[in-house]
Amino acid sequence: MKNTLREIEETPDLGIIMSDGTRLSARMWRPVDAGDDPVPVILEHLPYRKRDGTCARDALTHPYFAARGYACLRVDMRGNGDSHGLMEDEYTQTELDDAVEVINWVAAQDWCNGHVGMMGISWGGFNSLQVAAMAPAPLKAIITLCSTVDRFNDDIHYKGGCLLNENLGWGATMWSYSSRAPDPALRPDWREMWLERLEAEPFLPSVWLRHQARDAYWQHGSVCESYDTIKARVLAVGGWGDAYKNAVPQIVDNIPGAKGIIGPWVHKYPHFAVPEPRIGFLQEALRWWDKWLKDVETGVEDDPDLRTYLMDGVRPATWYTDRPGRWLADAQTETQHWYLTDAGLGPVQDTLHRVVTSPQDTGANAGEYCAIWLGPELPGDQRRDDASSATFDSPALEADLSVTDAPVIRLTVSADAPVAQIAVRLNHVHPDGASTRITYGVLNLARHLGRPLVPGQREDITLTLDHVAYTVPAGHQLRVAISTAYWPLIWPAPTPTTLDLHSGSLSVQKLKDAGEWTFPPPDAAAPWQTEELRAENHIRRQETDMVSGITSLIIEDDFGRIRDLDHGLMSGSIARERWSIHPDDPLSARGTCHWSDELERGDIRLRTETACEMWSDATHFHLSATLEAFENDIRIYHRTLEDKIERDLL
């Protein structure tokens, strides 16, 4: 059925009052005749500031749906952007209850047909799943992008029981985002709101680091605890270049009727994502919404359960503009086993006795945990990290090998310390020696076993690597690389580790057969209209202090400075990170983050400076953070905090 485009109208500041009296601010796009011809609603509920934070993607997306018969509601969560109230943490019950209240409120409006969908990427993808698990009656369908079903094992905090440095990095991002002021043009009490927000703003890394095991804190919001509570129809979307690629197959496997799409992309919506090829995501989403919110037969229930992009093997690079490959539909696979032996990686089990003690800066070419800012964030050539690892190479492949799903590594190991980490990379080795990372996994052995290791005692471990779909060409090789450190992706164990490898195997799912799939080309509404005042720029560089021996990764993300040509608000941000360590000393590890953010409206100039730092000794983590706010270059607020948190098998 072809949708007839309808004239739309925009409301920039729709107030929605919660049961406790808190006013949430929403931006709404809807057909002008929705009062006469009611429409379904698509909700996006985020902390990322609808007035200046998500405008670029909102402009491309929400007017597109509105013109095709939907009301799109982009709500600022309480304590963020232009909404009143205070935010305490991510995915709190209050946040989810607010979303349910919004859903019930909007479903009761005379311009709504009573059916609601919810969508979002990252935070919005998480809370779409979490709200769906609460099963509000009007919520009929969701589209979750770049999200997770398990907040402990597959978010930005911990991976395989290892502490991700993104725990500090993204905590610093939220320390910045949530401390910014409302737009003075929308809130006459903007200054009081801002000061109240600054005083209450939580430093979330301190919260997250107090939960170093998968306790009730992480179980809350992890929909893998109870998939059966989700009654809404679920479309899950992800990208091989993103951190959250594992949720899509997990959702398809565990939620009846769910469908999944995984492309070559980083952490972006697929109609403007990179690397290309992009797809007509909005057309796919419209088919989903039309079926489940309008009861229009679009055939989505007959689509393949999982559509994945099989990437051709390519040379390593920290950024790609496109990835050659092809789309697969419902791939059929068979298991292929390889064995780690003293002779390398082969089809026959044989003796293995290898010892690995990696320098603490092994992992320098891992790339960002979550590639999002469109800088050189992807894993580069792995040869340097491979040289600091125990490596196992296959013979040159006699035929192309397409690896799909999640490879599994099984090892028998012993360590010389009570807390030890292992990082495993599956790499594609080119004939000239270049090494491309296909996929990887990390594991905290003590957390995995639930107890300290006994030095010298053999332990059997299983490590599932991240899902992937990648073809290694004939004549090239597979490599398994194993290291005892992976900095700066994960925080190091308290002591250097020597790991003995006694046996090992690799199981991969080899593509046997698959259908082909073709998506329509990308479409979108008109882009956000802005005036560029400072160009965007992204820097990644590595430094070695030749006196101290400290190695550092320096990240500088200048997001530029722009003026919105519709409402005139000027905004700009710069984020800086530094991750430093000595190759011989895990206790030298240090991470620092600093954000500068500015807003300008007429003669009002507002700025926040947020900074934080983390280091550790053998028994504790140490955190410090500062928050400063300026009005017309006069400091009006300043707060510092220090924290000390005991290490628990980390």
Whether residue 322 has pLDDT greater than 50: yes
Q: Are residues 329 and 450 in the same domain?
A: yes
Whether residue 398 has pLDDT greater than 70: yes
Is 316 inside any structural domain? no
Whether residue 271 has pLDDT greater than 90: yes
Whether residue 348 has pLDDT greater than 60: yes
pTM: 0.97
In this prediction, residue 554 carries a pLDDT of: 97
Q: Rounded to whole angstroms, how far apart are CA atoms 168 and 205?
A: 6
Whether residue 172 has pLDDT greater than 70: yes
Q: Which of the four pLDDT bands, split at 50, 70 and 90, describes residue 374?
A: confident
**Cβ-based neighbour number of residue 448 at 10 Å:** 18
In this prediction, residue 373 carries a pLDDT of: 84
Q: Are residues 250 and 353 in the same domain?
A: no
The CATH code of the domain that includes 478 is 2.60.120.260
Q: Are residues 146 and 250 in the same domain?
A: yes
Q: Are residues 49 and 128 in the same domain?
A: yes
Please count the structural domains in the chain: 3
Measuring CA to CA, which residue among 336, 469, 340, 472 is closest to residue 396?
472
14 — phi, psi (to 5°)? -85, 120
Is 318 inside any structural domain? no
Average pLDDT, the chain: 97
Q: Are residues 249 and 360 in the same domain?
A: no
Q: Quick one: average pLDDT of 438-460?
A: 97
Please report where in the chains the tokens 């999200």 appear, as a residue. 147
Over the stretch 552-606, which tens digit does the pLDDT of each residue have? 999 999 999 999 999 999 999 999 999 999 999 999 999 999 999 999 999 999 9
Over the stretch 77-117, which tens digit does the pLDDT of each residue have? 999 999 999 999 999 999 999 999 999 999 999 999 999 99
Q: Are residues 23 and 93 in the same domain?
A: yes
The CATH code of the domain that includes 241 is 3.40.50.1820
Q: Are residues 99 and 17 in the same domain?
A: yes
Q: Quick one: average pLDDT of 256-285?
A: 97
In this prediction, residue 446 carries a pLDDT of: 97
Among the residue ranges 2-11, 121-130, 446-455, the one predicted with the least confidence is 2-11
Q: Which of the four pLDDT bands, split at 50, 70 and 90, describes residue 66?
A: very high
**Token code pair at residue 401:** 């090998």
Over the stretch 529-552, which tens digit does the pLDDT of each residue have? 999 999 999 999 999 999 999 999
Whether residue 614 has pLDDT greater than 60: yes
CB 649 within 8 A of CB 621: no
- Of the three residues 460, 494, 516, the one that is the final residue of a domain is 516
Whether residue 2 has pLDDT greater than 70: no
Q: How many CA atoms lie within 13 A of 47 on its CB side?
A: 26
Is 491 inside any structural domain? yes
Q: Quick one: average pLDDT of 8-19?
A: 98
Q: Quick one: average pLDDT of 298-317?
A: 97
Q: Which residues contact 417 (CB under 8 A, 6 or more apart)?
A: 453, 455, 493, 495, 496, 497, 498
Q: Which of the four pLDDT bands, split at 50, 70 and 90, describes residue 3?
A: low
Is 320 inside any structural domain? no
Is 536 inside any structural domain? yes
In this prediction, residue 239 carries a pLDDT of: 98
Q: Rounded to whole angstroms, how far apart are CA atoms 281 and 302?
A: 17
In this prediction, residue 1 carries a pLDDT of: 41
- Taken in order 354, 358, 364, 368, is the CA torsion positive or negative? positive
Q: Are residues 503 and 534 in the same domain?
A: no
CB 367 within 8 A of CB 377: yes
Question: Residues of 315-342 as b/e, b for ≥16 C-beta within 10 angstroms?
Answer: ebebbbeebebbbbeebebeeeebbbbe
Q: Are residues 491 and 549 in the same domain?
A: no
Is 412 inside any structural domain? yes
Measuring CA to CA, which residue among 4, 82, 5, 2 is closest to residue 46?
82
Q: Are residues 499 and 534 in the same domain?
A: no
Whether residue 394 has pLDDT greater than 50: yes
Q: Which of the four pLDDT bands, split at 50, 70 and 90, describes residue 4?
A: confident
Whether residue 260 has pLDDT greater than 60: yes
Whether residue 309 has pLDDT greater than 90: yes
Q: Rounded to whole angstroms, how far apart are CA atoms 624 and 620?
A: 13
Q: Are residues 243 and 297 in the same domain?
A: yes
Q: Are residues 134 and 278 in the same domain?
A: yes
Whether residue 625 has pLDDT greater than 80: yes
Is 187 inside any structural domain? no
Is 309 inside any structural domain? no
Beta-bridge partners for 460: 412
Domain extent, residue 573, equals: 530-646
